[in-house]
């Protein structure tokens, strides 16, 4: 298990991907106390050189003994890899912070957003799960409201950027946009339909209940992180032709009446939240401004006039940072603070 040290041996699994790349940037930016850094990806990337703090590090493929001597492993190489390699890493003595959905709903695994439930880190058994990006940015805003007014029901519609799908999807949006503007035929490879100049009400696979997996992740993960299974959640997740930054229209119904002004005051004091809510100046959160930032931005806060105790909000965050890499590194920071 993790022992207190001045610096830690860190591994990033999926280091060549969209999330992995962001992890390297954030480890460096936040001066995480890294002793050695090992980078892993698929066979396609073996030997590829990545940069960290001015040093070149060659990418390796995973082997049974890859995690020997590693203290903290940050996984972002997909659920299948996490399923196989996270237990191997734990057996080698390291703590795994996993970005995939593989372990999120496992009752033995804490699902953590530090601003909301850092206390759940106390009972980890080696694996800690990082929630889905759309869930993370929503719960950072919901928790302080829940503490004051108890949320009974959440209705959320997301507007998710293509970076949520990874590097290939970002390339596809760019290529389709360039091709369409040049009157050329387009290639459709990543999504079931053209994504440029389009909106797809479909993220991840469809399930038997008519929802997508992404929608059910938001439903189930929200309850686990908030530690309240009585909250009702329904979600519609939508892919939009935006490169980076997920936006969400969120409607809540509370047990206690709370005004829009009260919500603004609560959120102004909430950790990791920035309120941008000046409609008279056309000021509200936008993905182009949230991109590259660490905070979760919230605006368009208003009372839902169709019910007695309801609030509408617009929530935006950088999905690769707070939605994935940053949250994982904040978990690592909390863990070492606890030692």
As given in the structure block, the two tokens for residue 111 are 């699902």
Report how far residue 110's alpha carbon sits from residue 171's, in angstroms, rounded to the nearest whole number.
Answer: 34
Rounded to the nearest whole angstrom, what is the least distance from the CB of residue 81 to ligand NAP in the complex?
5
Altogether, the residues listed in the chain come to a count of 339
List the interface residues with ligand NAP, window 265-324 (CB under 6 A).
Answer: 323-324
**246 among known catalytic residues:** yes
Instruction: Tell me: does residue 79 bind ligand 3JN (CB under 6 A).
Output: yes
**94 among known catalytic residues:** no
Please give the biggest Cα pair distance in the chain: 60
Rounded to the nearest whole angstrom, what is the least distance from the CB of residue 240 to ligand NAP in the complex?
16
Handedness of CA 264, 330, 143, 247 (dihedral sign): positive
Instruction: Tell me: does residue 132 bind ligand 3JN (CB under 6 A).
Output: yes
Report how far residue 86's alpha carbon sits from residue 79's, in angstroms, rounded to the nearest whole number.
Answer: 10
164 versus 299: smaller Cβ distance to ligand 3JN: 164
Among 2, 25, 30, 79, binds ligand NAP (CB under 6 A): 79
Q: Work out what residue 76 binds among ligand NAP, ligand 3JN, none; the CB cut-off runs from 5 to 8 Å by kind.
A: ligand NAP
Report how far residue 154's alpha carbon sits from residue 163's, in angstroms, rounded to the nearest whole number.
Answer: 25
Report how far residue 122's alpha carbon sits from residue 110's, in angstroms, rounded to the nearest whole number.
Answer: 9
User: What 3-state class would DSSP assign to 62?
Assistant: coil
Instruction: Tell me: does residue 23 bind ligand 3JN (CB under 6 A).
Output: no
Rounded to the nearest whole angstrom, what is the least distance from the CB of residue 282 to ligand NAP in the complex?
30
Instruction: Tell me: does residue 45 bind ligand 3JN (CB under 6 A).
Output: no
Question: Cα-flanking dihedrals φ and ψ of residue 63, to 5°?
Answer: -135, 165
**Which residue ranges make up the site for ligand 3JN (CB under 6 A)?**
78-79, 100-101, 132-133, 160, 164-165, 203, 217, 319
């Amino acid at each position: 298990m993790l022992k207190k040290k001045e610096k830690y041996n860190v591994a990033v699994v999926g280091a060549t991907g969209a999330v992995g790349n962001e992890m390297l940037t954030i480890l460096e930016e936040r001066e995480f106390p890294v002793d050695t850094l090992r980078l892993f990806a698929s066979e396609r990337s073996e030997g590829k050189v990545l940069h960290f703090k001015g040093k070149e590090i060659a990418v390796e493929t995973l082997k049974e003994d890859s995690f020997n001597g590693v203290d903290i492993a940050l996984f972002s190489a997909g659920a299948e890899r996490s399923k196989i390699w996270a237990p191997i890493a734990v057996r080698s003595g390291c703590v795994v912070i996993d970005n995939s959905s593989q372990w999120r709903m496992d009752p033995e695994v804490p699902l953590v957003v530090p601003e909301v439930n850092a206390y759940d880190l106390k009972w980890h058994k080696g694996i800690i799960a990082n929630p889905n990006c759309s869930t993370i940015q929503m719960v950072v805003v919901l928790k302080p409201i829940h503490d004051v007014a108890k949320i009974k029901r959440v209705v959320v519609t997301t507007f998710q950027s293509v970076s949520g799908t990874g590097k290939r999807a970002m390339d596809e949006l760019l290529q389709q946009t360039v091709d369409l503007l040049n009157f050329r035929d387009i290639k459709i490879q990543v999504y079931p339909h053209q994504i440029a100049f389009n909106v797809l009400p479909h993220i991840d696979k469809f399930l038997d209940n008519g929802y997508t997996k992404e929608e059910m992740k938001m439903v189930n993960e929200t309850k686990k992180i908030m530690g309240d299974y009585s909250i009702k959640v329904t979600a519609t997740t939508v892919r939009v032709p935006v490169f980076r930054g997920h936006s969400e229209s969120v409607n809540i119904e509370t047990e206690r009446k709370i005004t829009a002004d009260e919500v603004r005051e609560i959120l102004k004091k909430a950790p990791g939240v920035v309120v941008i809510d000046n409609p008279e100046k056309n000021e509200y959160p936008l993905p182009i401004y949230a991109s590259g930032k660490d905070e979760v931005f919230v605006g368009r806060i208003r009372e839902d006039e169709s019910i007695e105790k309801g609030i509408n909000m617009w929530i935006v965050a950088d999905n690769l940072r707070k939605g994935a890499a940053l949250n994982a590194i904040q978990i690592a920071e909390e863990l070492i603070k606890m030692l």
